C-alpha cells in the first residue's frame, strides 16, 4: 500500500513540521558531525604534533649537551647528566644507545677502544658488562641508525599507559673521529619517551565533551530551526488550510492574517481575496437569482430560448393580513415564508428568479424540471398548510401556486444600470395566471406540466379561462391531500 | 501558479542552488589543490660537472663518516673558484648563490669509469630545502635522478668545516668555510684547481 493510499485509508499523514524537523536534524547532524569530527581529529593531531616537536627540541638539547660533554673527554659528566635528567620526572625517560643497540656508558668497551685509538690511557678503564636496559624497537631503531639517518617518532602503549617516543640518531662527526674513528657514520641513538597517559585521557575527555556539546547543539538548533519553520511555514499553512475548510463548510467570514511578504504571505493574501469573492457571491445570492450570478461570469447578454417550468406562489389574503398585523410581524412572517419557499425550491434544483412582494417566481430547468417543480409546490403547500392548521410560524397564512411549462426566452433583461437575468414568454404568463386562479392550498398546473409528470396525482382535466387567453385552457389540480402526493 | 503578486518563480531555490554549487566548487578546488602533486624540481646539477676542476690534489681515499672509504673527487664550478680567488685564502668564505661543489665517489678499488654516486651542494639560500644556504643532494649517475636531502644529516657533519677538523689543512684558524671541507684555493693548493 502506497503512502497516498495509506493516507486515503484514513491514517494520519506525516506532518510538515515533523518532516521539516527531521530534515533539519539530519542536515545538522551531518554538517556539525563532520565539523566535530574534524575538530576532534585536529585536536588529537595538534597535541601529537606539539608533543613530537617538544621531544625533538629536547633531543636537540640533549644532542648539544652530549656533543659538548664528549668533545673535551668529559664522558663522566655526560653520564651524570643523563642520570639527573632521568630523575626529573617519572613520566619522562631518556636513554642513550650505541648504534648496535647496547646501552651507552654501561661497560668499558668504548673507553678501551678510545684509549687504544689514542695510544694512551686517556680514560680510566671501567668495569661492567654491556647491557640493553630497554630493548629498542628493532625496525624503528634500524631506521634511526641507517645512512642517511632520520629521527623516528612513534607512539606505544605498555602497562595500560600511553607513550610518545623519539629515536634521535647521533652522527659520528669529523671532530669525533679522533677518538672514535672514521669507520662508522652513526655513533648512537638518543631515546626519549614521554608518558602521555594523562594527556590522552584529557584528549578523550575533550573529544567526549565536544561530542556531547555537538549533540546538544544539534538538538538546540533543531529545536530553534523547527520552531522557526513552524512559525514561518507550518502555522501559516495550517491557518490557510483551516480557512479553506471553513469555506468548504459554507462559511465565508474567515480571513488569514498574512505574516510576511514571501510566497506564503502572498498565498495567504490570494486565499483571502478568493474567500472575499466567495463571500460577496454568497451575499449577492440573497438578492439576485443564481442565474443572474452565473451569467456574470459568462456572456449574460446573449438571449436564448429553452424549455422551462415556471412556479409562481402567492400568499392568499396577504393584504388583509398586513392591515391587521404589526409591520414588524408582517416582515418577520413574510421573510420566514419566503425563506422556507426559497429553501424548498433550491432543494429541488430550482432557482428563485425573484420575489415580487409576497410572490415567489421560481424557474426549473433541465431533465425532470416539471416533476421537481411540482414536488416543490407540493412541499410548500404541505409545510404552509400544516402550519395553518395550528402553527404560529406563518400566522395561518395560506399559499396558492401555479405552474406552467413551455419555451421561454432567458437572458439579461433591463438597462445598463439595472438588469436581471430572467425569463419571459407565454409560459411565464400562464404560470402567473394559474397562480392567480389558485386558492389557498391549491396547486394548479397547465397541461404541458401535467403531461411532463403524469404519474403524480392530479385532479382534472378542468377547463379554465385565463386572462389574456381567448381559448379555454386545460388545467390540472395537484392532489396534494390524496396521500400519494409527492 | 502565476498570480501577479507572486515573487519570481524559483528565486529562493535558484539562490540556494547557486550557493551550494559555489561551495561545492570551492571544496572541489581546494581538494584538487591539496591533493595535487608538487611540480617536479628542475635538475640542480649541470651535465658538465665532471669537467670542472678539482679543488684539491689530495687523494681522498681514507674513510670518513657519511662517505666511508669511497674514493672521492671534489670539484667546484667556475663561480665557486672565482669567489675563492678574490678571498683571503685563510679567511672566511661566503659562496654566492649559484656556487656548486660536487663530490664524485667510487667504491674502493673501482676508480675507473663512471662514479658510483655523486654528491652535490648547490648554494641557493632562497630554496626551502636549503640548510646553511646550501641545497644538499645526490645524483645517481646511472639514471641521472637527483635526490635532495631535506634533513639535517649532511649539514650536521659539514658544519665541522667551519671549525677545526681533521682533513686538509685542518682549518687551524677556525675560519668560516661555508660548510666546505676542501674549498678551492686552500693554502698550498692551486687556486685554479686541478684537472
Which of A467, A319, A340 is closest to A402 using CA atoms?
A467
Contact B119, B101 (CB under 8 A): no
CA torsion through residues A435, A436, A442, A445, sign: negative
Full domain range(s) for residue A50: 16-202
B10: cell is 524559483
Q: Which of A251-288 are b and which e, b meaning 16 or more Cβ less than 10 Å from the residue's Cβ?
A: ebebebebeeebebbbbbebbbeebeeebeeeeeeeeb
CB contacts, 8 Å: B68 with chain A: 183, 185
Percent of chain B with pLDDT over 70: 79
Structural domain count of chain A: 2
ipTM for this model: 0.71
Q: Quick: pLDDT tens for B157-188.
A: 899 999 888 888 888 889 999 999 999 888 77
Which chain A residues are closer than 8 Å to B7 by Cβ?
A: 262-263, 266
Residues A197, A346, single domain; the answer is no
CB distance from B40 to chain A under 8 Å? no
Superfamily of domain B49-162: Cytochrome P460 (3.50.70.20)
Asked whether residue A469 is assigned to any structural domain, the reply reads yes
If asked whether residues A31 and A160 sit together in one domain, one would say yes
**How far A423 CA lies from chain B's nearest CA (Å)?**
38
Residue in the structure block whose three cell numbers are 536534524: A25
**Backbone φ, ψ for residue A101 (5° rounding):** 100, -10
Domain ranges of chain B: 7-36, 49-162
User: Alpha-carbon dihedral of residues A80, A82, A84, A86, nearest 10 degrees?
Assistant: -150
Q: Give the three-class secondary structure for A363.
A: strand
Beta strand A359-364 with A186-195 is unpaired
Rounded to the nearest 5°, which phi and psi values hold at A165? -140, 145
Q: Which of B31, B65, B148 to mutate to test the interface with A (most CBs of A within 10 A)?
A: B65
**Residue A318 belongs to a domain with what CATH number?**
3.30.70.1230
For residue A256, tell me if it sits in a domain.
Answer: no
Question: Least CA distance to B138: which residue of chain A?
Answer: A148
Q: How far apart are CA A290 and CA A181, in angstroms?
A: 121
Distance CA A402, CA A311 (A): 6
Closest partner residue to B165 (CB to CB) among A174, A183, A263 is A174
A125 falls within a domain: yes
Spell out the per-residue pLDDT of chain B, length 195, in tens. Answer: 333 333 344 444 444 445 445 555 555 555 555 554 567 889 999 999 999 999 998 888 888 888 877 889 999 999 999 988 888 777 899 999 999 999 999 987 667 778 888 999 999 999 999 999 999 999 998 898 999 988 888 998 899 999 888 888 888 889 999 999 999 888 778 888 888
Q: Which three cell numbers stand for residue A112?
A: 678501551
Q: Which of residues 134-173 of B touch A (CB under 8 A)?
A: 149, 151, 153-154, 156-157, 160, 163-167
Under an 8 Å CB criterion, which residues of A touch B? 147-150, 171-178, 182-185, 262-263, 266, 269-270
Cell numbers of A254, please?
A: 474567515
Phi-psi category of residue A404: left, alpha or beta, with phi > 0 → left and psi -120 to 50 → alpha: beta
Domain final residue pick, A169, A202, A235:
A202
pLDDT by residue for chain A (486 residues), tens only, comes to 445 555 445 555 556 667 777 787 788 778 877 887 887 788 788 878 888 888 888 878 877 877 777 777 777 787 788 888 878 877 788 888 888 888 887 777 787 888 887 777 777 776 665 555 555 678 888 888 888 888 888 888 888 888 888 888 888 888 888 888 888 888 888 888 888 888 778 878 888 887 788 788 878 887 888 788 888 888 888 888 888 998 888 888 888 888 778 888 888 888 888 888 888 877 777 666 666 666 665 555 577 888 899 999 999 888 888 998 899 999 998 998 899 999 899 888 888 888 888 899 999 988 898 999 999 999 998 888 776 555 677 888 889 999 999 998 888 777 777 777 788 888 899 999 999 989 888 899 999 999 988 888 988 789 888 888 888 889 999 887 654 444
Q: What CATH number has the domain bearing residue A90?
A: 3.30.450.20
| Residue at a domain's end among A202, A221, A251 | A202
**Over the Cα atoms of chain B, what is R_g?**
27
Angle at B180 between CA B177 and CA B186, to 5 degrees: 65
A412 in a structural domain: yes
Q: Which residues of B touch A262 (CB under 8 A)?
A: 7
CB pairs under 8 A between A and B: 58
Domain end position, chosen among A185, A202, A219: A202
B64 to A182: CB separation less than 8 angstroms, yes or no: yes
Give the pLDDT confidence score for residue B37 in this predicted structure.
56
Q: Is B5 close to A148, i.e. CB distance below 8 A? A: no
Smallest CA–CA separation between B87 and chain A, in Å?
Answer: 25
Amino acid at each position: 500500500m502506497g503512502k497516498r493510499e495509506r493516507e486515503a485509508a484514513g491514517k494520519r499523514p506525516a506532518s510538515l513540521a515533523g518532516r521539516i524537523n527531521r530534515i533539519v536534524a539530519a542536515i545538522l547532524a551531518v554538517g556539525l558531525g563532520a565539523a566535530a569530527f574534524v575538530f576532534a581529529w585536529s585536536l588529537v593531531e595538534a597535541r601529537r604534533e606539539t608533543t613530537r616537536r617538544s621531544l625533538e627540541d629536547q633531543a636537540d638539547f640533549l644532542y648539544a649537551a652530549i656533543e659538548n660533554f664528549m668533545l673535551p673527554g668529559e664522558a663522566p659528566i655526560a653520564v651524570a647528566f643523563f642520570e639527573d635528567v632521568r630523575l626529573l620526572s617519572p613520566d619522562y625517560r631518556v636513554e642513550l644507545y650505541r648504534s648496535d643497540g647496547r646501552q651507552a656508558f654501561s661497560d668499558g668497551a668504548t673507553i678501551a677502544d678510545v684509549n687504544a685509538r689514542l695510544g694512551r690511557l686517556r680514560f680510566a678503564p671501567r668495569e661492567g658488562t654491556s647491557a640493553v636496559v630497554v630493548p629498542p624497537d628493532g625496525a624503528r631503531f634500524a631506521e634511526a641508525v641507517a645512512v642517511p639517518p632520520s629521527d623516528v617518532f612513534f607512539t606505544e602503549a605498555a602497562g595500560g599507559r600511553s607513550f610518545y617516543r623519539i629515536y634521535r640518531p647521533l652522527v659520528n662527526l669529523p671532530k669525533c673521529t679522533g677518538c672514535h674513528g672514521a669507520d662508522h657514520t652513526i655513533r648512537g641513538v638518543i631515546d626519549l619517551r614521554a608518558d602521555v597517559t594523562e594527556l590522552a585521557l584529557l584528549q578523550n575527555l575533550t573529544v567526549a565533551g565536544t561530542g556531547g556539546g555537538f549533540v546538544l547543539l544539534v538538538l538546540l538548533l533543531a529545536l530553534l530551526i523547527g520552531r522557526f519553520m513552524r512559525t514561518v511555514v507550518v502555522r501559516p499553512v495550517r491557518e490557510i488550510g483551516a480557512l479553506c475548510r471553513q469555506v468548504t463548510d459554507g462559511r465565508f467570514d474567515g480571513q488569514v492574517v498574512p505574516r510576511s511578504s514571501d510566497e506564503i504571505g502572498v498565498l495567504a493574501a490570494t486565499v483571502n481575496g478568493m474567500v472575499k469573492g466567495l463571500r460577496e457571491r454568497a451575499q449577492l445570492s440573497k438578492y439576485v437569482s443564481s442565474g443572474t450570478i452565473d451569467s456574470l461570469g459568462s456572456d449574460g447578454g446573449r438571449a436564448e430560448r429553452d424549455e422551462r417550468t415556471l412556479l409562481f406562489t402567492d400568499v392568499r389574503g396577504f393584504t388583509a393580513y398586513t392591515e391587521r398585523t404589526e409591520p414588524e410581524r408582517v416582515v418577520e412572517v413574510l421573510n420566514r415564508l419566503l425563506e422556507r419557499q426559497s429553501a424548498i425550491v433550491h432543494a429541488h434544483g430550482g432557482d428563485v428568479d425573484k420575489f415580487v412582494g409576497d410572490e415567489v417566481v421560481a424557474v426549473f430547468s433541465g431533465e425532470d424540471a416539471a416533476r421537481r417543480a411540482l414536488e416543490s409546490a407540493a412541499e410548500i403547500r404541505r409545510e404552509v398548510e400544516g402550519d395553518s392548521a395550528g402553527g404560529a410560524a406563518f400566522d395561518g397564512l395560506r399559499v396558492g401556486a401555479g405552474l406552467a411549462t413551455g419555451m421561454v426566452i432567458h437572458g439579461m433583461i433591463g438597462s445598463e444600470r439595472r438588469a436581471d437575468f430572467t425569463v419571459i414568454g407565454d409560459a411565464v404568463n400562464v404560470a402567473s395566471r394559474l397562480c392567480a386562479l389558485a386558492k389557498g392550498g391549491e396547486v394548479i398546473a397547465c397541461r404541458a406540466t401535467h403531461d411532463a409528470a403524469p404519474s403524480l396525482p392530479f385532479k382534472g382535466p378542468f377547463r379554465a379561462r385565463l386572462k389574456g387567453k381567448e381559448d379555454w385552457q386545460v388545467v390540472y389540480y395537484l392532489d396534494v391531500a390524496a396521500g400519494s402526493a409527492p | 501558479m502565476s498570480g501577479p503578486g507572486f515573487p519570481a518563480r524559483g528565486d529562493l531555490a535558484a539562490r540556494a542552488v547557486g550557493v551550494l554549487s559555489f561551495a561545492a566548487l570551492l571544496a572541489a578546488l581546494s581538494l584538487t589543490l591539496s591533493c595535487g602533486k608538487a611540480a617536479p624540481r628542475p635538475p640542480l646539477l649541470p651535465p658538465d660537472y665532471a669537467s670542472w676542476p678539482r679543488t684539491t690534489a689530495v687523494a681522498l681515499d681514507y674513510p670518513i663518516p657519511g662517505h666511508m672509504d669511497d674514493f672521492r673527487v671534489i670539484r667546484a664550478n667556475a663561480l665557486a673558484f672565482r669567489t675563492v680567488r678574490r678571498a683571503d685564502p685563510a679567511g672566511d668564505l661566503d659562496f654566492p648563490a649559484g656556487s656548486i661543489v660536487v663530490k664524485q665517489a667510487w667504491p674502493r678499488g673501482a676508480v675507473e669509469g663512471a662514479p658510483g654516486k655523486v654528491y652535490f651542494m648547490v648554494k641557493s639560500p632562497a630554496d626551502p630545502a636549503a640548510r646553511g644556504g646550501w641545497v644538499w643532494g645526490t645524483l645517481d649517475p646511472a639514471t641521472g635522478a637527483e635526490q635532495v636531502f631535506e634533513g639535517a644529516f649532511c649539514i650536521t657533519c659539514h658544519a665541522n668545516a667551519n671549525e677545526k677538523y681533521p682533513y686538509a689543512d685542518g682549518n687551524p684558524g677556525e675560519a668560516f668555510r661555508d660548510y666546505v671541507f676542501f674549498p678551492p684555493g686552500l693554502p698550498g693548493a692551486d687556486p685554479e684547481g686541478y684537472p
